[in-house]
Amino acid sequence: MSENCNQNCSDCGEESTGRKAAKTDLTENTHELSRIKKVIGVVSGKGGVGKSVVTSLLAVEMNKRGYNTSILDADVTGPSIPKAFGISEKARGTELGLYPITTKTGIEIMSINLLLPNETDPVVWRGPIISGTVKQFWTDVIWGDIDYMFIDMPPGTGDVALTVFQSLKVDGIIIVTSPQELVSMIVSKAVKMAELMDIPILGLIENMSCYKCPDCGKEYKIFGDSHIDQIARRHNLEILTVLPIDPKLASACDNGKIESFENNWFERIVQILTAKQEEKPQVVYITKEEKGGKTLKIAVASENEKVTEHFGHCINFNIYAAVDDQIIHCETIANPGHKPGFLPLFLHEQGVNVIISGGMGAGAIDIFNEKGIEVIVGASGDAKKAAERYLQGELQSTGSVCHEHQHHGECGN
């Protein structure tokens, strides 16, 4: 494509890749009374995988944590957000613009269902009208001050999705999949679209992964085996969370009570969304059991490359991801600070299974044990060698607890 390309393909004979069109800034400004800090698009390959549910739950989670949160329902032909929040009133407009509806807990919502006279009316509009409507939700709605806006995208990576990503200033995309889908193809398409748009993919969420019997606790893979691990690795994406089929969730959506549905599924996403740019946690791409292979994440409390003597005093954590006892990925995460009791929870959120350190306080050991993380103390020397020795079964914990007063509070006591 020539440098002078004006995107009018009748003007020259050169083949257009469409890339320049994508890179050209076509983003529209929001209403002058809107200040939106972060915009996250939630996409899926097809309808019915739980994209709207995930969008709603993410908004509920961020709102619960005190952030001004909103949902822009861009799934114009299948809008289900108002129902999940039990909203039946209509949005109000003045000559200034359109006002979103505020949910019981304070989330701002705009959806086509808040404008149609009858919410069961089908929306039988062509693509450009749908895209135009979504754009107006961005430009004409008076959102006010918003920390996090979640966009429930139309399913697929077609024309409407593309226009939305070109017109709205989206900071990141989350892809929702379910085991019965052609996940590989969907993720490949979403990755290509995101590249074209220059928008980072924050990661994958697998919904309806399995059903856990409330009586015996056994897990049933209703939609078959998941291939999410391989796909995540192929595209170098993180699996942000895996959600079960939960009849209580379905009923909360049906009854407009999604705001009171309790779960602890989104810690990692909250961590990513709230991380300041410069301290964005690094990603280690293993979270679930790979087909037949045993996967482990080992954190070594370190001073650069050496195992630290005092856990809470460490400079960084070297995190080794291993499959079948072979280290396949290493990351270094700076010690985020040593408030008592904080680091074990922080490492738990990173998906760590084993922690190796020189010394450690009893308090920290207890929390690690509670979280099911194995604690190896008494290690020294090279951090990676310590992890390798652990994998070979050669590194045993001395079990000694750190009592040094000068480090009181820093070792997790």
Contact positions vs ligand ADP (CB under 6 A): 44, 47-53, 78, 80, 207-208, 243, 245-246, 249-250, 253
Phi/psi at 140 (nearest 5 deg)? -105, -10
50 vs 359, which CB is nearer to ligand ADP? 50
C-alpha 183/C-alpha 176 separation (Å) is 10
44 vs 166, which CB is nearer to ligand ADP? 44
239 vs 367, which CB is nearer to ligand ADP? 239
Query: Minimal CA–CA distance to 236: which of 276, 297, 196, 195?
Result: 195
230 vs 251, which CB is nearer to ligand ADP? 251
Question: Smallest distance, Å, CB 219 to ligand ADP?
Answer: 14
207 vs 413, which CB is nearer to ligand ADP? 207
Question: Smallest distance, Å, CB 53 to ligand ADP?
Answer: 4
C-alpha 16/C-alpha 2 separation (Å) is 9
What is the torsion angle, in degrees rounded to the nearest 10, for the CA atoms of residue 151, residue 113, residue 162 and residue 37?
-30
What is the torsion angle, in degrees rounded to the nearest 10, for the CA atoms of residue 369, residue 374, residue 378 and residue 382?
-140
51 vs 348, which CB is nearer to ligand ADP? 51
C-alpha 6/C-alpha 10 separation (Å) is 10
HSE, side-chain direction, 13 A CA sphere, residue 359: 16
Question: How far, in Å, are 12, 19, 165, 198, 241 from residue 16 at the CA level?
Answer: 10, 8, 20, 18, 38
222 vs 323, which CB is nearer to ligand ADP? 222
Question: Smallest distance, Å, CB 245 to ligand ADP?
Answer: 4
CB atoms within 10 A of CB 385: 15
Question: Smallest distance, Å, CB 243 to ligand ADP?
Answer: 5
Task: Sheet containing 35-44: give its strands across.
Answer: 101-102, 108-110, 69-73, 145-152, 35-44, 172-177, 201-206, 239-242
Question: Smallest distance, Å, CB 63 to ligand ADP?
Answer: 18
**Hey, what amino acid is at 95?**
E
Question: Smallest distance, Å, CB 159 to ligand ADP?
Answer: 18
Question: Smallest distance, Å, CB 344 to ligand ADP?
Answer: 29
